[in-house]
Amino acid sequence: MSWLSQIVAVTLLNLRSLRQRLFSSCVAVVGIAGVVAILITVLSMAEGFRAAMTSSGSDRRAVMILRASADTEMNSGISLSDARLLADAALIERRDGVALVSAELFVIADLPKRGVGTRANVPLRGVDPAAFAIRDRIEITEGRRFELGKAELIVGAGAARAFEGLEVGSIIDWGQTTWKVVGHFSAGGSVADSEIWCDGKVLMPAYRRGGYQSVYARLENADDFAAFRDNLTADPRFNVKVLREADYYAEQSETMTMLITILGIVIGSIMALAAIFAAFNTMYTAVASRTREIATLRALGFKGGPVIASVLTEALLLGALGGLIGGLLAFLIFNGYSVSTLNFQSFSQVAFQFKVTPRLLIQGIVYALVIGFFGGLLPAWRAARMPISAALRG
């Protein structure tokens, strides 16, 4: 028989005897499935957070202007006079003669988290009317927009899910003003879903602010970004830096995404050790129960290589089954699950949804195969090195 034929023959013999080892095989599959499910779930949290942040700047024409030395909106500052001058800058899109520019305030308020009771920071953003045209994914889902000059709020879908007291019609005391919630909006799963919006000119005196923190604008053409940036940074009247909105939020997501990913890998690695031991036990049991069969095959001329390959194949099949079950569980239970976490850049909560992507499912199955491989390696080596005479006597 050829080497490949020997592998197939021995592997089929192994698989036909699975019923005799059903309990230990199920233990290995369940252990691997648990590892994969937890790994994919944690990584889907990182994927969901990253998607929420990066989708915020999906339109490449949207730019934001900060103070030159600022890393985030929280530590930026734009004066009232500079904000007026920036609205007249060239290359900004205009509709009916009005520049699509929004000078914005970004402050932190606190509310009780839904279902928990503890209070957490929620971002409160004061905007100009052009903000709705710059971020054209904003859609009112309940109620209406706030009216200019009134202390009215509209709440992002993520913030409405995460915090209490944000139903349409609710009254909230923030700063030196009493606010009324008049609507909810959706921002297509972007970070704006975690925010509460109001008229910036009403927010400014409520929090005793004398200027803005950022200016958002929409360019006529995405290719104008470099020229627009160079024009403003070279203008001696301004001390600003210009970023694409997409780049700003992608950079903000890096720290949290990396932290969650590392946490997931550490947890998954610790659990993988237990799963490998479960696979060890299963495959050692498989080898021990077929000692005479393997020895007989060796005596008939089967090589050690096909024996190793057959044991590893069984271990890989158990790993693949565990990976498929774990991935399916993670997808059915957690895909689309809504949570909120702290954005370390703004010290406010960001609401997002777990995203179990095809890439994560493939990654989980590969991880399961690695566990199965290492779980079957030593038992396979033992089976191939087993002395034929001693095994037959046993």
Q: Which two tokens stand for residue 9?
A: 């023959």
Per-residue model confidence as pLDDT tens digits over 62-100: 889 999 988 888 889 999 999 999 989 989 999 888 899
- The 3-state secondary structure of the chain reads CCHHHHHHHHHHHHHHCHHHHHHHHHHHHHHHHHHHHHHHHHHHHHHHHHHHHHHHHCCCCEEEEEECCCCCHHHCCEEHHHHHHHCCCCCECEECCEECEEEEEEEEEEEEECCCCCEEEEEEEEECCCHHHHCCCCEEEEECCCCCCCCEEEEEHHHHHHECCCCCCCEEEECCEEEEEEEEEECCCCHHHHCEEEEHHHHHHHCCCCEECEEEEEECCHHHHHHHHHHHHHCCCCCEEEEEHHHHHHHHHHHHHHHHHHHHHHHHHHHHHHHHHHHHHHHHHHHHHCHHHHHHHHHCCCCHHHHHHHHHHHHHHHHHHHHHHHHHHHHHHHCCCEEEEEECCCCEEEEEECCCCHHHHHHHHHHHHHHHHHHHHHHHHHHHHCCHHHHHHC
51 pLDDT band, cuts 50/70/90, is: confident
User: What is the pTM for the complete model shown?
Assistant: 0.74
Contact between 214 and 248 under an 8 Å Cβ cutoff? The reply is no
Are 391 and 292 in contact by the 8 Å Cβ rule? The answer is yes
* Rounded mean pLDDT, 119-130: 91
| Mean of all residue pLDDT scores within the chain | 83
Q: Binning pLDDT at 50, 70 and 90, where does residue 261 land?
A: confident
pLDDT at residue number 245: 85
Please name the amino acid found at residue 130. Answer: A
391 pLDDT higher than 90: no
* Count of beta carbons in the 10 Å neighbourhood of residue 27: 18
**Strand 152-156 versus strand 101-112 pairing type:** unpaired
Q: What percent of the chain has pLDDT over 70?
A: 83
The interaxial angle of helices 291-299 and 304-334, nearest 10 deg, is 140
pLDDT of 289 above 90? no
pLDDT digits (tens, 9 = 90+) for 126-174: 999 999 998 878 899 999 999 999 999 999 998 998 899 999 999 999 9
Residue 378: pLDDT over 90: no
CA distance 125 to 148: 14
